[in-house]
Structure 1
């Protein structure tokens, strides 16, 4: 990188030579090939799946913890800001675009080592650039009896980043961050922190126990801007002796409330040890393919959907049972039937034993034709066994007339994708009310109401709301963001606070009670007095 290239990235905020000095320091540390200032590369880094105006002056690509420390020390010394990104697949929530303007991107993709693995204890320690696909391939190569809980996002996304965002996955460890420990964290001034028992040399339980002894620091570094996590240990579950996939359908729109209450019962009593997903009819239809341009023009109305889905169905669900023995599996299926049978119109449980490719499908309620919207159950078995897929990414192209094969570049292809993520009590009437309110708001703004419920916990539900549109349609960026804001306003007014935020919603939260917010800001000031690390990300100034 030449001095002329550096000068091209200067901004009014840096009327002095701060960025020039920083880039010179980073070039000396990383080498010119890892300090990127090419306009096309910077343009890609500042592009999300919705409208953004943040400018990225430079992209840094460290490969080691020591280089991360050096990058942050240079940033602190020069008073410029950096925004960490692991793989950049945070689609619908900002991709890798910083929250605030004029932040360099600290691209951790080259930190892609699997640091440690223990087959006996089922632990895996990785860096932020490791991908889901890489983990699955590694476990296959090891001939491991364990599987990794994947997400519906890209196979090339980062498990570590997903955990830090408190993302969810499939399987018994679907609440990903709750089954991690031993974080290695670089603070904004370059110091290094180890959490839990990993703070002690030769600790035998460094990868086995989350809390350690004394105050626990792990939570400070999830959904925050207090440090850069460069290493994390994940716990793994053994592959089950019998894997069961239950698919269920409710035809009456009013049937959501009793279904949710039944799911809460199954979670609380322990019959369900893994998450469940419940899709509304629009979301279920969108999973089949792209917008039906040959039949309709946007927005698709409920009457249009009825003509396109003559088989009907209001709510479509799927959950998984992991059992060690066939007798346990049969008992779980019987209990599932006992609880879900009265509140569903279709209920089927498919069985697959470990080491066999044969799938035995048992229809407990309904007729075979009502299972058609669920597609091939073997696809679900692959995913629930920890096999990543690109299938769900197709939905980002729902409104694109000229969708490209592969569905892997939503930013480049100008797909419009915005997520909203309210957290709702796992209580039937409240879930039904939230669904009604959000459907009305989305329809009023001219989009299809695409949403689902994820029952990952015993007492709360993740409300996953997708606004999908075409960024090439004039005015849709602004209209979609207005819809998103209206949804969050309506939910927050009812006490349904988001459990996850995007770069577009970091300022959406109401003021916290007591002195909580002030304490968090004091911690930020203590650890990052110059505000160089991810300013505006969850913790303001």
Structure 2
């Protein structure tokens, strides 16, 4: 292949320079790990956002198998000023998948760096590479007979703890805040040097995965949702398997019940009675495990209230369904269960469902699996609600107050319905905060609907910002927009760090709105 045959070039890079870089990549990684043909790049162009795939097309895909190769890639990228977008498993559905921030960036795919380096069953720690999936980690733990649990996000089996933690994702067990339970990173910096954070800088350290802070400034946070380095190893804490696990659900029949259920569950979460990430699932989010919209209506636009009520009635789905679990010894669980039951009785509403009562209910099984760290892919049923492959997660934060949740649901529903789309959402309670997860679902094959979805997402961001709400994650098409909402000072601090750590702006420019060229 000559330099004239490349389908896409990195921005600002001449054909001959790119050809020279490709030859260097081949020498470093082997021909099979350097993909430049159009048909090889197509799988990395698949996006679910409301924009044209061409705007996020890569010029090449590289796969590395060790840290030294990552250092070599960084060196070559610096030499030729080639931007590189790094992914671990590339399954960040609804937030951008594996596609780069903008056209022409090369992708560094770390899926082949998939070693589970160490698990300590006594200290309940692990050290893993970026390509390790939750399924792989769970299988390894089971094979070794360790009494340990992982905490996966909803699309658990095919995603990995490194990528999800770096994007500050959440799960559903008591270890739901993933970054909180991360401990120690190995990072390849833009200059090719390798940094080990926390206690990892001490030679022959055996405390790298047990003490987060190390000495001096705490650095791990700056490598999450950023483009300041490439994480090649990460430590994480695993949950010891409890003697007793008791999942439960509480169904509430009215839309306005969200206010009361938040007020009831918040103190139970803050006080550690219910220690896991408690979910409050809305009707259509709950229904997606078993129901398709086309079973009830083929009309475009908003699903009517009458149809939603039919779905509730025919499938015994609440307006809101709360899912929580108790963990611990028999004595602990029995005491806490009485507290939970008394709280629900005092509230005077809500239908309590336990594992014994749930039977074969697929929605209950799905949530119970998540709360015990089991692998499943049930959440992908969301994409069948409307069909057409369009999905963008809108993820504002809320105080754990009932009045705030009512306000957010009403605001989101009004905006979504205005653009002919449905509110499909849930909240995840982590003590004092609520992660409000709304899947903006649309048909990417329908140009008009894709335009409406794009306008809808932009309006959601704008109106929520006006009301003082920020999002904690966003897809690549809207990263710059969200960065603006956090103010000019934060943007300038991020740019200062970027300028110091990556003066050639080669590491994922545009990630989280951080780019020296803007």
- Normalised by the length of structure 2, the TM-score is 0.94
Equivalent position of 1:322 in the other structure: 327
2:305 matched to which residue of 1? 302
1:535 is the counterpart of 2:509: yes
2:335 is aligned to 331
Task: Tell me the residue number matched to 1:493.
Answer: 466
Q: 1:234 and 2:236 equivalent?
A: yes
Aligned pair 1:26/2:17, yes or no? no
Aligned to 2:176: 174
For residues 281 and 376 of structure 1, the distance between their equivalents in structure 2, rounded to whole angstroms, comes to 11
Report the CA distance between 1:447 and its aligned residue: 1.3
Post-superposition offset of 1:489? 0.8
Match of 1:161 among 160, 163, 169: 163
2:387 pairs with 1:397 = no
Distance 1:4 1:17 in 2: 6
TM-aligned CA deviation for residue 373 of structure 1: 11
Contact 2:4 2:15 in 1 (8 A): no
Question: 2:228, 2:353 → 1: CA distance?
Answer: 45
| Distance apart, 1:100 and its partner CA | 2.0
How many matched pairs?
508
Which structure shows the bigger proportion of residues in helix conformation? 2
C-alpha displacement at 1:344, in angstroms?
Answer: 6.2
Alignment of structure 1 residues 98-117 onto 2, 5 Å: 98-117=100-119
Helix, strand or coil at the partner of 1:253: coil
Which aligned pairs between 1:59-208 and structure 2 lie closer than 5 A?
59-208=61-210
Aligned to 2:479: 506
* Contact in 2 for aligned 1:35/1:59 (Cα 8 Å): yes
Gaps of 5+ in 2: none
Q: Deviations over 1:269-317 (max 9, x none)?
A: 2212111111112222223232234644233111111123224632111
Q: Cα gap change, 1:379/1:461 in structure 2, threshold over 3 Å: closer, same or farther?
A: closer
Match of 1:433 in 2: 407
Shift of 1:488: 1.1
Per-residue deviation, residues 476-501 of structure 1 (Å, max 9, x unmatched): 22111111111111111111111112
In structure 1, the partner of 2:448 is 475
Task: Map 1:512-523 to 2 at 5 A.
Answer: 512=486, 515-523=489-497
Change (3 A) 1:101 1:482: same
CA–CA distance in structure 2, aligned partners of residues 39 and 268 of structure 1: 52
5 Å-filtered alignment, 1:7-22, equals 7-10=6-9, 13-15=12-14, 17-22=16-21
Q: Displacement of 1:92 after TM fit?
A: 0.7
Q: Deviations over 1:207-235 (max 9, x none)?
A: 10111122111001001000000000110
How has the CA–CA distance of structure 1 residues 268 and 258 changed in structure 2, closer, same or farther, with 3 Å as cutoff? Answer: same
Structure 1: runs of 5 or more not aligned: 351-358, 362-370, 401-413
Query: Is the CA contact (8 Å cut-off) linking 1:320 and 1:384 kept in structure 2?
Result: yes
CA contact (8 A) 2:85 2:507 kept: yes
- Counterpart residue number, 1:444: 418
SS in 1 for 2:477: coil
- Which residue in the other structure is 2:346 paired with? 342
What TM-score, normalized to structure 1? 0.90
**SS state of the match for residue 462, structure 1?**
strand
Aligned-pair distance for 1:517? Answer: 2.8
Task: State the Cα distance separating 1:133 from its structure 2 match.
Answer: 0.6
Structure 1 residue 376, shift from structure 2 partner: 6.3
Paired residues of 1:61 and 1:107 also in contact (CA < 8 A): yes
